[in-house]
């Protein structure tokens, strides 16, 4: 009887133990499954993050490649163009996400290195080109001066009016070629090529006018108070600058419109004012002209345009080297006004007119009691202006002390090299009044031809011998 309960007790104990074991195993399995699910979720999240990172890296790589292609295909070509034409913009980054990053710094470094390399190479090539042009223009300029001398000698040698006129035309064409060669050489750093003595400013302006086609349209008004002259070393540079400004005025105005030149004297120097009545210049053109005329920046030949315009560039080089100034602005007459300012110290002086008289071709100064002689040829068909009126009665001759130049010039005044002799107003006015009125080119040519014919006939009469045949008028006998 007692064995059955014990057996049941043992069975119950064994079942309980089995249940406990099964429960423990179940709990352990659930824990393992939870841990596995956690690990699987973490792995999935890691895989997702890895996939997202790979996607971002791929997109960034594609953006970097696109940025490099943008650099090579757009930014570098535009940079090269902008170095020659500053108004051309250089684009920035294609993708704004790279702003301020290492990629942006690296690409900017590439642009800077390319810009520096291109600038240095352009300067080297341009310097070589300028050196070649400088040597060539110097040689051609010397040959043209020799040709000019030969033509002038032929003008004295031959008496035939037709030959003389042809020689004058050839000499004028040679002057045109010489002016172009001279300006090109100055742009390339060459010396102007002429050494002169101290020259009156009025004579200098007339000489500059004679170098140009259309010189008969130029009207010169001399408002100088004193016989102002330019020192020797600056005569040719200032003549070149005035010539180029006149060439610009004549070229950009109608052939029937005049170009006026006014010579003014101030406390610290003198000015040559050129006014034309032409088409004028826009603000950007005036700005570009002032940049060239200032002579501040180094100039490349490629900046002169195609075909190259070397006039203002040559003027800027001379302004920088010799210390005078040029200003361009709109003219009150609708065209362009150009002002050449020449400082009295050290580029001007005052000459003694009694020992070094001014050329009869130069316009006389417009002083009180003295008529002004304007140097301007009349256009074809115009009548010759009436002669100047007689000078008014002169007052009593002042004392000699009143005409003496001061031993030391006052502050701002022009230096005086010689002591002027006392001249009465009557004598000075009479000397000014004796000058002839200006003539037209046709009248000048006819008078020149008549002079040549008279010279020929006079020489033939003086050297005539009944036993010898008459001399041919084609040339003069050389000693």
Q: What are phi and psi of 413, to 5 degrees?
A: -85, 160
**pLDDT for position 433:** 39
Please tell me which residue, 197 or 455, carries the higher pLDDT value.
197
Q: 178-195: per-residue pLDDT in tens?
A: 999 999 999 999 988 888
How much is the pLDDT for 2? 55
More confidently predicted of 167 and 12: 167
Structural domain range at position 271: 197-377
Q: Is the pLDDT of residue 406 over 50?
A: no
**What does the pLDDT look like over 364-401, one tens digit per residue?**
887 544 445 544 443 333 333 333 333 333 333 333 33
Question: Contact, 239 vs 195, CB < 8 A?
Answer: no
| Domain membership flag for residue 363 | yes
Q: What is the pLDDT of residue 127?
A: 92
CA–CA separation, 3 and 187 (whole Å): 135
Q: Is the pLDDT of residue 159 over 50?
A: yes
- Banded pLDDT at 450 (limits 50, 70, 90): low
Could you tell me the pLDDT band of residue 50, with boundaries at 50, 70 and 90? confident
Give the C-alpha distances (Å, rounded to integers) separating 10 from 3, 17, 18, 24, 272.
10, 10, 12, 21, 137
pLDDT at residue 108, rounded to an integer: 92
The pLDDT, as a whole number, for residue 397 is 35
pLDDT at 61: 87
**Does residue 268 fall inside a structural domain?**
yes
What pLDDT is attached to residue 360?
84
Q: Would residue 87 count as lying in a domain?
A: no
Position 473 in a domain? no
Residue 319 placed within a domain: yes
Residue 281 in this model has a pLDDT that exceeds 80:
yes
Q: Are 224 and 365 in contact (CB under 8 A)?
A: yes
pTM: 0.66
- Evaluate whether residue 252 is within a structural domain: yes
Mean pLDDT of all residues belonging to the chain: 78
pLDDT of 86 reads: 81
- Given strand 228-230, what is the order of strands in its sheet? 199-200, 228-230, 348-350
**Does any domain span residue 127?**
no
114 Cβ contact partners less than 8 Å away, ≥ 6 residues apart: 76, 79, 80
Backbone φ, ψ for residue 411 (5° rounding): -60, 130
- Helices 311-322/232-251 angle, 10° precision: 150
The total of structural domains in the chain comes to 1
For residues 407-430, average pLDDT: 46
For residue 350, what is the domain's CATH number?
3.30.565.10
**Could you give the 3-state DSSP secondary structure of residue 262?**
strand
Task: Kindly tell me if the per-residue pLDDT of 351 is higher than 60.
Answer: yes
Residue 238: inside a domain = yes
Mean pLDDT of 306-310: 84
Residue 464 has pLDDT above 70, yes or no: no
CA dihedral 328, 329, 334, 339 (to 10 degrees): -50
């Amino acid at each position: 009887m007692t064995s059955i309960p014990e057996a049941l007790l043992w069975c119950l104990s064994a079942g309980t133990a089995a249940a406990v074991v099964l429960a423990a195993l179940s709990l352990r399995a659930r824990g393992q499954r939870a841990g596995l699910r956690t690990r699987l979720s973490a792995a999935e999240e890691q895989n997702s993050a890895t996939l997202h990172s790979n996607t971002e890296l791929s997109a960034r790589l594609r953006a970097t490649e696109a940025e490099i292609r943008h650099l090579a295909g757009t930014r570098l070509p535009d940079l090269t163009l902008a170095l020659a034409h500053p108004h051309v913009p250089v684009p920035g980054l294609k993708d704004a996400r790279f702003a301020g990053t290492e990629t942006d710094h690296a690409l900017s470094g590439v642009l800077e290195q390319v810009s520096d390399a291109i600038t240095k190479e352009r300067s080297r090539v341009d310097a070589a080109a300028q050196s070649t042009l400088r040597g060539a223009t110097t040689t051609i300029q010397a040959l043209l001066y020799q040709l000019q001398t030969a033509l002038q000698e032929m003008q004295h040698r031959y008496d035939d009016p037709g030959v003389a006129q042809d020689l004058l035309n050839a000499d004028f064409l040679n002057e045109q070629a010489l002016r172009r060669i001279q300006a090109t050489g100055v742009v390339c750093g060459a010396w102007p090529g002429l050494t002169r003595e101290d020259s009156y400013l009025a004579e200098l302006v007339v000489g500059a006018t004679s170098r140009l086609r259309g010189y008969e349209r130029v009207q010169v008004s001399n408002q100088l108070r004193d016989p102002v002259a330019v020192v020797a070393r600056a005569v040719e540079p200032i003549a070149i600058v005035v010539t180029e400004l006149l060439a610009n005025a004549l070229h950009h105005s109608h052939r029937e419109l005049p170009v006026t030149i006014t010579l003014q004297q101030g406390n610290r120097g003198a000015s040559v004012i050129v006014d034309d009545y032409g088409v004028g210049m826009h603000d950007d053109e005036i700005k570009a002209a002032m940049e060239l005329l200032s002579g501040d920046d180094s100039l490349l030949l490629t900046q002169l345009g195609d075909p190259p315009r070397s006039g203002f560039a040559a003027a800027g080089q001379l302004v920088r080297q010799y210390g005078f100034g040029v200003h361009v602005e709109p003219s009150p007459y609708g065209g362009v006004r150009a002002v050449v300012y020449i400082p009295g110290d050290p580029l001007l002086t005052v000459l003694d007119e009694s020992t070094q008289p001014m050329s009869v071709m130069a316009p006389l100064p417009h002083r009180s009691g003295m008529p002004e002689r304007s140097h301007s040829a009349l256009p074809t068909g115009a009548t010759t202006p009436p002669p100047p009126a007689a000078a008014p009665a002169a007052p009593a001759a002042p004392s000699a002390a009143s005409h003496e130049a001061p031993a030391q010039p006052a502050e701002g005044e022009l230096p005086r090299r010689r002591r002027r002799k006392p001249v009465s107003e009557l004598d000075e006015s009479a000397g000014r009044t004796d000058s002839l009125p200006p003539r037209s080119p046709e009248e000048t040519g006819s008078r020149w031809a008549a002079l040549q014919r008279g010279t020929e006939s006079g020489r033939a009469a003086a050297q005539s011998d009944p036993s010898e045949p008459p001399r041919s008028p084609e040339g003069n006998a050389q000693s």
